[in-house]
Structure 1
Amino acid sequence: MAARQLPLDLALEPGFAAEDFFISGSNESAYQMIERWPDWSNSALILIGPAGSGKSHLGAIWAAKAGATTIAAATLAGREPAALVAAGALLIEDLEAIGPGQAQLFHLVNLALPRRLPLVMTARRPPGPDNFDLPDLLSRLRLAPSVSIGAPDDALMRMVLVKLLMDRQLVVDVRLVDYAALRLDYSLEAARSFVEKLDREALARKSRVTRQIAAEVLSAMAGGDDGEADAGAAEAYGPT
C-alpha cells in the first residue's frame, strides 16, 4: 500500500475578483445587468439564484464597482438602519437567513429607495410569504427589480474546474475535467469542494492526480460505496 501523509489544511479562499467570474448562458443576463451599473432605472436590485450559482461572486463584483458595504442579512437584527444607509451603497447577502431582522430591512429599504441609494440583495428564490412574514417588507421586495442566475451549465462547470485546478497548480488530463463535470452536482461550491478534496487526496498518497483518485473522491462526495465501479469507469477514459 502506498504511503500516505497528512496534508496541511491550505484551503484557498474563493476568488471574487471580476477576472475570476466566468460568463456562460446561465449567468450572462445577470452579469450584463451588473456591468450596466450605475445606469439602472431603479437603484435596487435582487440577484436570485440557487446555492453555488455565483450570485455572491457577482454581488462582490458590484460591491467593488459601487464601493458598497457588504452585510449578511442574518446580522441585521438589532442594527440601526439609518446608520447603515449613512454608510452609502449596500450589498445585503442571503435574504433567506434574515430571521428576526425583517423590520430592520423594511426600514432600511424605506430609507434607501427615496435617496436612490444603490442597494443590491442576494436570495436563493424570489421573495414570497414562505420566507418573509412581514407583509410591508414583502411588498417592497416584490417591487424591486430582480435578475436570475441559473445553476451552472456544462461549459461553466468545465471553466471553473480548470481555473480551480490551475490555482492549485494541479496538472490533469482534460478528459478528467470532462469526467468530473458530468458527475458533480451543478454547483460552483461542488466544484470547489471536489478540487480541494482531489488535491488533499493526491498529497496524502504522494501521487499525481489520476482519474482513479478522482473517481474515488467523486464517489465519497456522493456518499456511495461504488468506488470500484467509478474507478473502472474512469479507467475507460484511457491511461493516466
Structure 2
Amino acid sequence: MPVQLTFDLPAKSAQEREDFFVSAANTVAVETLENWRNWPGQKMALIGAEGSGKTHLSHVWAKEAGAHILRARELGDIDISTSANNHVAVEDVCQIAGNSDAEQILFHLHNLVLANGHSLLLTAQTAPAKWTLSLPDLESRMQGTPVVTLEEPDDALLCAVMIKLFSDRQIDVPPNLLPYLLRRMDRSFSTAKEIVDTLDKAALSRGCAVSRALAASVLDNDTRNSA
C-alpha cells in the first residue's frame, strides 16, 4: 500500500463550556472557577498536568468573567496599567521562574489587578511552592494564593478527553475504539494525547480511517519495538 504524505496541521481546539467534560477528577476545579466572585483574596491558582484542561477552563472562565488571558512568557510585551483594568488569567506561571523582568511584571500586575478590584487566575502544572521564583515578594504572594487542582483522570474523563482530541481533528471515533484503548494505556493526559497523535498520523499515512484495527496494528507494533 502506498504511503501518503502527512502534514502537521494545527487542530482547532473547542474551548466552550459545553465542550468541557465534568467528572469526579475535575468537579471541584470547575465549581471553584464558576464561583470566582467569592475567591479568597480575589485570586486562584489552577494546577494540573499537561492536557488536564487548564487552558480550556481558563478560557471558559475568561469568557464568563470578561477577562484578559496572558501567557506568562509574553508578559514583557504587555502594558501593565491597561491589562490590570480587567480580570486577568496568566497561564503557565512557572515558566518565568528565574526571569527577573517577567517576575517583576507579574508582581506589579498581581498587585494592580487586585488593587483595582479585579480577579486573577494563575495556571501551572505544579503548586506555587514549586515554582522556584527568584523575586521574594512575588514568591510570597504566589505561595499565598489559594490552589485548586485538576486531578489525574478517571476512565470517564479519559474517554471524554480522547473524544475531544479526536473531534478537534475532525475524526469520528468508532464505538469499539475507546474501550480498547483504555485497557492498554497509562492513565494520563499526556498518554491520551500521544495515542491520538499517533493514530491520526498513522491513518493519514495509510489513507484509512481511525479504527480499532488500526489501533491494534499501531499499538502492537509499538509494543514489539519497545520490547
Give TM-score scaled by structure 1 length. 0.80
Q: Match of 1:116, as an amino acid?
A: G
Question: Would the aligned equivalents of 1:52 and 1:151 in 2 still touch at CA under 8 Å?
Answer: no
Structure 1 residues 165, 136: closer, same or farther in 2, change over 3 A?
Answer: closer
Paired position in structure 2 for 1:93: 91
Q: Secondary structure at the match of 1:183?
A: coil
Give the Cα–Cα distance (whole angstroms) in 1 for the partners of residues 185 and 92 of structure 2: 24
Q: Match of 2:87, as an amino acid?
A: A
Structure 1 residues 8, 131: closer, same or farther in 2, change over 3 A?
Answer: same
Larger radius of gyration: 1
Paired position in structure 1 for 2:60: 61
State the shift of 1:165 in Å: 3.7
Give the Cα–Cα distance (whole angstroms) in 1 for the partners of residues 204 and 129 of structure 2: 46
Deviations 1:82-106 (A, max 9, x none): 23213x1111000111142111111
Paired position in structure 2 for 1:160: 161
Structure 1 residues 78, 210: closer, same or farther in 2, change over 3 A?
Answer: closer
Give the Cα–Cα distance (whole angstroms) in 2 for the partners of residues 117 and 12 of structure 1: 33
Q: Secondary structure at the match of 1:191?
A: helix
Give the Cα–Cα distance (whole angstroms) in 2 for the partners of residues 208 and 151 of structure 1: 30
Question: Would the aligned equivalents of 2:163 and 2:173 in 1 still touch at CA under 8 Å?
Answer: no
Paired position in structure 2 for 1:237: none
Paired position in structure 2 for 1:142: 143
Give the Cα–Cα distance (whole angstroms) in 2 for the partners of residues 142 and 228 of structure 1: 42
What root-mean-square deviation, in Å, do the aligned CA atoms of Structure 1 and Structure 2 show? 2.6
Deviates most, 55-64 or 11-20: 11-20
Q: Secondary structure at the match of 1:184?
A: coil
State the shift of 1:8 in Å: 4.9
Structure 1 residues 187, 15: closer, same or farther in 2, change over 3 A?
Answer: farther
Give the Cα–Cα distance (whole angstroms) in 2 for the partners of residues 163 and 130 of structure 1: 30
Question: Would the aligned equivalents of 1:170 and 1:199 in 2 still touch at CA under 8 Å?
Answer: no
Question: Would the aligned equivalents of 2:84 and 2:116 in 1 still touch at CA under 8 Å?
Answer: no
Q: Match of 2:127, as an amino acid?
A: P
Alignment of 1:1-240 (within 5 A): 2-77=1-76, 79-86=78-85, 88-99=86-97, 100=99, 101-128=102-129, 131-166=132-167, 168-174=170-176, 176-218=177-219, 224=222, 226=224
Deviations 1:20-76 (A, max 9, x none): 101111111000111223243431111011222111111111011111111111122
Structure 1 residues 171, 71: closer, same or farther in 2, change over 3 A?
Answer: closer
Q: Match of 1:170, as an amino acid?
A: D
Q: Secondary structure at the match of 1:77?
A: helix
Give the Cα–Cα distance (whole angstroms) in 2 for the partners of residues 83 and 11 of structure 1: 31
Give the Cα–Cα distance (whole angstroms) in 2 for the partners of residues 48 and 138 of structure 1: 16
Q: Secondary structure at the match of 1:46?
A: strand
Identity %: 36
State the shift of 1:228 in Å: 10
Q: Secondary structure at the match of 2:69?
A: strand
Which sections of structure 2, spanning at least 5 residues, go unmatched? none
Give the Cα–Cα distance (whole angstroms) in 2 for the partners of residues 64 and 219 of structure 1: 43
Question: Would the aligned equivalents of 2:49 and 2:189 in 1 still touch at CA under 8 Å?
Answer: no
State the shift of 1:225 in Å: 5.3
* Structure 1 stretches of at least 4 aligned residues deviating more than 6 Å after TM superposition: none
Structure 1 residues 157, 171: closer, same or farther in 2, change over 3 A?
Answer: closer
Question: Would the aligned equivalents of 2:28 and 2:148 in 1 still touch at CA under 8 Å?
Answer: yes
Deviations 1:172-229 (A, max 9, x none): 242x212212433444454344224323322332333343421344467xxx551699
Aligned residues: 223
